[in-house]
């Protein structure tokens, strides 16, 4: 509940933050009084607008070339300036080249009438030609400016400084007469676009500026071909690895989705997180980058080196420890629906899936460390880049190697996770390296200008999702919020002003606080999963206990069943009644301890004896319960009704209501009138009774009748009739359940009514108990040890030779349970 | 089915056990086939107390997917016990309330006899073939 609340809160806050940031972003305007050239106008138009303002005619602003490799940018312009007021007319060419992925090495060449002045902010401390002496950038810039504009302005002075995105040259050319000044700023922005700003200051205080940004860039081959090829190859390789990784991750994810192993809510929730982050990133990314670059600052290189080497890994370890200590990962995983996904046993696709697992791990570690590590990493990279300049090695090599190293370290920290998924040690290493490379590619892509914004956001989002999923809300909150927040904070402290965007920052901070508080609250909740985590010992103990419990439970159940069995057996009459003119013997053998078969003898109100064999559909406990009910029903019905059809209909009425068609009962009812020796038989869904006359013929007594409880009484009664027959002395009637006729042998042949008929024909003389036992013996021989699947119930009625009633001696026969039947038998019969 | 195949190779005593097992648990199969808005269930083997549960889940699946017109092909159904009949019984009312029915085709004589004894012929429409059972639904449309 709390977790949900927490998420809801932070998601809402994050959305509010995004909306605020996005809404206020267009209002960003560093120069409030500026009269801008019409938006969307071309370079030429903007320049003309500015020139018009000054009364300067801009004859040409020629774009000569813009060329670009993966890391370098070269821009060349030719400019003709005419100022009719001072009859000045001049032209110069300007070539700027920016090197390195950060575009932080810059070479500018100014060509004034064939006089070339070059400026290199890195390699060349000695300015060419006119640049003499000054070690500082500002001095260099001033020299350049003075040289370049000597002929244009009488007393110009320039200043140069390094800026967020490289360097900035400012020419404060104060015109004594009119009091104009202008500031000229140029340099690449984060995405590698050249921003060119001219800011004119007029004496009355108003400011105009025009900005040429961003400039379109196009690929190039001309500059530094050898280095280009080197970079392109590295880039291509990295791109291929990255694409393979991403595509296979997506494919595996989709496959798992289709197989139903990965819940859709994972995708949906991840998408939500991702989109939030993308919006955040677009809004905040620039500031974040500014932070990175600013922190790189003007510190001595050794400091940067140490910072990178110590703080980076230390910060990563700290974040890792925090993630472990909080252990909210599981909850998040559950929230995301990833739980099952990660717990899958990967057998067939173990290589790919391991790779994915490791890839995720790498991303995760990258993600949590990114915000903190990247700063020091970049510092380190910076120093290496500097070193590489001195060593004349491509600067990118330093960054690449460093990143690879760092991510390898990161993956090694996450190695336990890889181990959990990959058994083979070599594979583990391979997976780690692959994952590291992939992570490296993703990070490197961020450094690249081509469409990098989208890629960066995507990478950030992926990282974030997996940070969440592996290391919990807290570390994810750190990663997600720290970067933009720190960026914003930096801007705040640097400028000392609270920009409109800072409102977004406030909300973000707030959401972070809310998230943190909720997380802490949640962590204090004692019912957490880790408390359920058991040590091996505890597990063993618990296992033993549960086994013991199971055994005792089983024993208890066995006891219960024994009691039920006894109870049910007691429900069967233990001996047949003394019925004048009739010998009776019955047996009921349940296939399981309790069963659904029963038999009963009842005296009807009209003086007839009712003999009943019933079979409840199904077997076992449920059948036995219905059977018990049937017994009671029968007993009560037979106290008031004598007509067999009435009895059956009443039973049906009750059973139809009670069983709800989940069960039904078949029954055969036989009512014997001692006075007339007449037997009336009703069959309700039950196998027909067998009648064997003393003369040796036998037949089944068929009649109409559906099972009890299947249909309502209206239909049931319509399809019901009885058969009456006169029993001659020696006639035998056998009532039985389908357990007899459907008993099977090992060849799965049924015993069948024919065999029963045959047997009764042959053996239908003598004592009813003998007949009963012969039938059971015949059945046993037929079955030949095959498993018994159904209850067997048999009732044998035999008309006495002397139809006149005689007081029969009562004798209890406790039947021997036939050997093949493990279930107990209740056989009873009068003396023969 | 696969266990019986595997057990056949093991031979010896195991084979007997396997056979018995098969009789208990493996002897029944219900396959579904959709014909228009009628679902035709092909039953095969022994439908007794042990296998009734499987048939019941098959039937339940139909009810759950709102397939109410069920035709049952019993051509290969060699045995049915009261528990098996109970499954038919327990679904018929619900299906009829939903405007559907269970119609049974191609009963083997022995199985048909069980239907007769129990009076199921009064409740269920029986047909000579499964196709007729399916067609009977469509004719009434």
Q: What is the pLDDT of residues A623-649, one digit of tens each?
A: 888 888 888 899 999 999 899 999 999
Q: Do B119 and A738 touch (CB under 8 A)?
A: no
Long-range contacts formed by A15-18: CB under 8 A, 24+ apart: A15/A276, A16/A507, A16/A511, A17/A280, A17/A504, A17/A507, A17/A508, A17/A511, A18/A276, A18/A279, A18/A280, A18/A283, A18/A504
Q: How confident is the model at residue A61 (pLDDT cuts 50, 70, 90)?
A: very low
What's the DSSP call for residue A216? P
Using the Cβ of A685 and the Cβ atoms of chain B, whether some distance falls under 8 Å is answered with yes
Within 8 A of A711 by CB-CB distance, chain B residues are 122-123
Please state, in angstroms and rounded to a whole number, the distance separating the CA atoms of residues A208 and A38. 12
CB pairs under 8 A between A and B: 74
H runs (alpha helix) in A392-500: 395-413, 415-421, 425-447, 452-495
Q: Do A615 and B19 touch (CB under 8 A)?
A: no
Q: Is pLDDT above 90 for A735?
A: yes
Using the Cβ of A590 and the Cβ atoms of chain B, whether some distance falls under 8 Å is answered with no
Residue among B24, B93, B120 whose CB faces A661 most closely: B93
Q: Do A685 and B90 touch (CB under 8 A)?
A: no
Q: Which residue of B has its CA nearest to A708?
A: B118
Smallest CA-to-CA distance from A480 within A498, A462, A500, A492 is with A462
Using the Cβ of A746 and the Cβ atoms of chain B, whether some distance falls under 8 Å is answered with yes
Within 8 A of B48 by CB-CB distance, chain A residues are 789
Please state, in angstroms and rounded to a whole number, the distance separating the CA atoms of residues A205 and A394. 47
Please state, in angstroms and rounded to a whole number, the distance separating the CA atoms of residues A286 and A289. 5
Using the Cβ of A595 and the Cβ atoms of chain B, whether some distance falls under 8 Å is answered with no
Cα A489 off chain centre by:
36
Q: Is pLDDT above 50 for A16?
A: yes
C-beta separation of A342 from A266 below 8 A = no
Element (H, E) at A657: helix A644-659
Most A CBs within 10 Å, among B118, B120, B121, B123, to test the A interface: B118
Using the Cβ of A597 and the Cβ atoms of chain B, whether some distance falls under 8 Å is answered with no
Q: Which residue of B has its CA nearest to A749?
A: B79
Please state, in angstroms and rounded to a whole number, the distance separating the CA atoms of residues A690 and A554. 42
Mean pLDDT of A46-72: 43
Return the minimum-mean-pLDDT range out of A23-27, A435-439, A683-687, A792-796. Answer: A23-27
Please state, in angstroms and rounded to a whole number, the distance separating the CA atoms of residues A248 and A357. 12
Phi, psi angle pair for A625, to nearest 5°: -65, -45
Mean pLDDT of A131-143: 38
| C-alpha to C-alpha distances, A290 to A197, A440, A605, nearest whole angstrom | 18, 21, 105
Smallest CA-to-CA distance from A685 within A608, A738, A625 is with A738
pLDDT in tens, B38-60: 899 999 888 887 788 888 888 98
Q: Which residue of A has its CA nearest to B56?
A: A662
C-beta separation of A610 from A603 below 8 A = yes
Q: Do B123 and A688 touch (CB under 8 A)?
A: no
Element (H, E) at A684: strand A678-684
Using the Cβ of A294 and the Cβ atoms of chain B, whether some distance falls under 8 Å is answered with no
pLDDT in tens, A665-720: 999 999 999 889 899 999 998 999 999 988 888 899 988 888 898 888 888 888 88
Please state, in angstroms and rounded to a whole number, the distance separating the CA atoms of residues A132 and A134. 6
DSSP per residue, A353-375: HHHHHHHHHHHHHHHHHHHHHHH
Using the Cβ of A748 and the Cβ atoms of chain B, whether some distance falls under 8 Å is answered with yes
Q: Please identify which residue in the block is written with the tokens 């081509």.
A: A450
Element (H, E) at A253: helix A225-258
A106's tokens: 């810059």
Q: How confident is the model at residue A105 (pLDDT cuts 50, 70, 90)?
A: low
Please state, in angstroms and rounded to a whole number, the distance separating the CA atoms of residues B131 and B128. 9
Strands of the sheet containing B125-127, edge to edge, are B28-35, B38-47, B69-80, B101-105, B125-127
Residue among B23, B52, B123 whose CB faces A710 most closely: B123
C-beta separation of A146 from A160 below 8 A = no
């Amino acid at each position: 509940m709390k977790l949900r609340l927490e998420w809801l809160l932070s998601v809402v806050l994050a959305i509010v933050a995004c909306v605020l940031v996005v809404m206020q972003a267009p209002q960003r305007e560093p120069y409030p009084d500026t009269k801008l050239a019409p938006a969307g106008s071309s370079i030429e138009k903007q320049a003309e607008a500015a020139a018009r303002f000054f009364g300067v005619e801009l004859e040409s602003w020629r774009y000569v070339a813009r060329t670009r490799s993966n890391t370098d940018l070269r821009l060349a312009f030719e400019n003709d300036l005419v100022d009719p007021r001072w009859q000045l007319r001049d032209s110069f060419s300007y070539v700027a080249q920016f090197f390195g992925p950060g575009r932080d090495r810059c070479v500018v060449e100014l060509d004034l009438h064939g006089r070339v002045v070059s400026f290199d902010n890195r390699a060349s401390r000695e300015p060419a030609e006119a640049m003499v002496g000054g070690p500082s950038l500002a001095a260099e810039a001033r020299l350049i400016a003075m040289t370049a504009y000597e002929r244009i302005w009488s007393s110009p002075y320039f200043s140069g400084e390094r800026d967020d995105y490289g360097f900035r040259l400012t020419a404060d050319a104060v015109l004594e007469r009119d009091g104009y000044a202008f500031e000229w700023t140029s340099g690449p922005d984060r995405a590698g676009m050249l921003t060119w700003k001219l800011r004119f200051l007029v004496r009355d205080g108003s400011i105009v500026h025009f900005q040429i940004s961003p400039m379109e860039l196009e690929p190039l081959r001309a500059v530094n071909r050898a280095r280009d090829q080197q970079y392109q190859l590295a880039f291509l390789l990295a791109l291929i690895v990255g694409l393979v990784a991403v595509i296979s991750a997506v494919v595996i994810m989709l496959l798992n989705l289709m197989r139903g192993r990965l819940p859709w809510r994972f995708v949906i929730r991840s998408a939500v997180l991702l989109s939030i982050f993308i919006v955040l990133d677009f809004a905040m990314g620039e500031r974040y980058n500014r932070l990175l670059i600013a922190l790189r600052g003007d510190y001595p290189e050794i400091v940067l080196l140490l910072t990178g080497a110590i703080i980076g890994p230390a910060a990563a370890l700290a974040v890792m420890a925090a993630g472990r200590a909080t252990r909210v990962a599981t909850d998040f995983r559950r929230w995301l629906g990833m739980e099952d996904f990660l717990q899958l046993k990967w057998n067939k696709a173990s290589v790919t899936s391991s790779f994915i697992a490791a890839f995720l791990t790498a991303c995760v570690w990258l993600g949590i460390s990114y915000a903190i590590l990247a700063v020091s990493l970049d510092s380190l990279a910076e120093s290496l880049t500097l070193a590489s300049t001195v060593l004349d090695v491509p600067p990118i090599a330093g960054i690449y190697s460093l990143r690879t190293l760092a991510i390898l370290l990161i993956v090694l920290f996450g190695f336990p996770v890889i181990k959990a998924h990959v058994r083979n040690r070599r594979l583990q290493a391979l997976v780690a390296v692959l994952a590291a490379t992939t992570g490296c590619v993703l990070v490197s892509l961020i450094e690249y200008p081509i469409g990098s914004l989208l890629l960066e956001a995507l990478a950030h989002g992926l990282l974030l999702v997996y940070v969440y999923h592996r290391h919990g809300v807290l570390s994810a909150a750190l990663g997600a919020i720290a970067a933009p927040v720190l960026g914003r904070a930096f801007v705040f402290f640097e400028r000392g002003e609270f920009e409109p965007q800072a409102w977004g920052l406030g909300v973000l901070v707030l959401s972070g606080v809310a998230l943190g508080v909720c997380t802490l609250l949640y962590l204090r909740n004692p019912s957490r999963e880790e408390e359920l985590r058991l040590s091996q010992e505890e597990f063993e103990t618990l296992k033993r206990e549960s086994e013991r419990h199971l055994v005792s439970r089983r024993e208890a159940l066995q006891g219960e069943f024994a009691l039920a069995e006894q109870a049910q057996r007691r429900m069967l009459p233990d001996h047949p009644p003394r019925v004048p003119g009739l010998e009776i013997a019955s047996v009921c053998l349940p296939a399981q301890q309790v069963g659904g078969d029963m038999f009963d003898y009842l005296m009807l109100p009209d003086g007839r004896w009712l003999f009943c064999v019933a079979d409840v559909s199904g077997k076992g406990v449920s059948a036995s319960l219905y059977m018990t009910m049937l017994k009671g029903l029968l007993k009560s019905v037979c106290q008031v009704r004598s007509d067999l059809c009435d009895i059956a209909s009443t039973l049906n009425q009750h059973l139809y209501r009670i069983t709800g068609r989940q069960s039904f009962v078949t029954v055969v009812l036989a009512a014997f009138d001692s006075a007339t020796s007449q037997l009336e038989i009703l069959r309700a869904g039950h196998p027909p009774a067998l009648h064997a006359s003393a003369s040796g013929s036998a037949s089944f007594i068929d009649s109409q009748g559906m099972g009890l409880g299947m249909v309502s009484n209206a239909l049931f009664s319509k399809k019901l009739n009885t058969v009456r027959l006169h029993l001659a002395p020696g006639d035998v009637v056998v009532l039985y359940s389908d357990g007899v006729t459907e008993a099977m042998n090992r060849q799965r042949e049924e015993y069948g009514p024919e065999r029963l008929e045959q047997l009764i024909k042959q053996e239908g003389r003598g004592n009813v108990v003998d007949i009963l036992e012969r039938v059971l013996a015949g059945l046993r021989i037929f079955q030949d040890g095959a498993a018994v699947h159904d209850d067997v119930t048999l009732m044998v009625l035999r008309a006495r030779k002397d139809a006149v009633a005689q007081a029969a001696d009562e004798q209890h026969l406790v039947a021997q349970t036939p050997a093949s039947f493990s279930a107990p038998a209740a056989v009873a019969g009068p003396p023969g | 089915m696969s266990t019986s195949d595997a057990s056949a190779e093991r031979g010896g005593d195991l084979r007997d056990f396997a056979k018995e097992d098969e009789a208990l648990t493996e002897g029944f199969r219900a396959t579904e086939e959709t014909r228009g808005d009628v679902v035709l269930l092909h039953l095969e083997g022994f439908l007794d107390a042990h296998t009734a549960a499987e048939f019941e889940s098959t039937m339940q699946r139909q009810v759950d997917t709102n397939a109410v017109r069920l035709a049952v092909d019993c051509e290969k159904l060699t045995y049915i016990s009261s528990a098996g009949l109970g499954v038919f019984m327990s679904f018929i009312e619900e299906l009829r309330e939903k405007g559907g029915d269970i119609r049974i085709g191609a009963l083997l004589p022995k199985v048909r006899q069980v239907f007769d004894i129990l009076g199921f012929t009064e409740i269920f429409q029986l047909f000579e073939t499964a196709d007729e059972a399916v067609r009977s639904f469509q004719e009434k449309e």
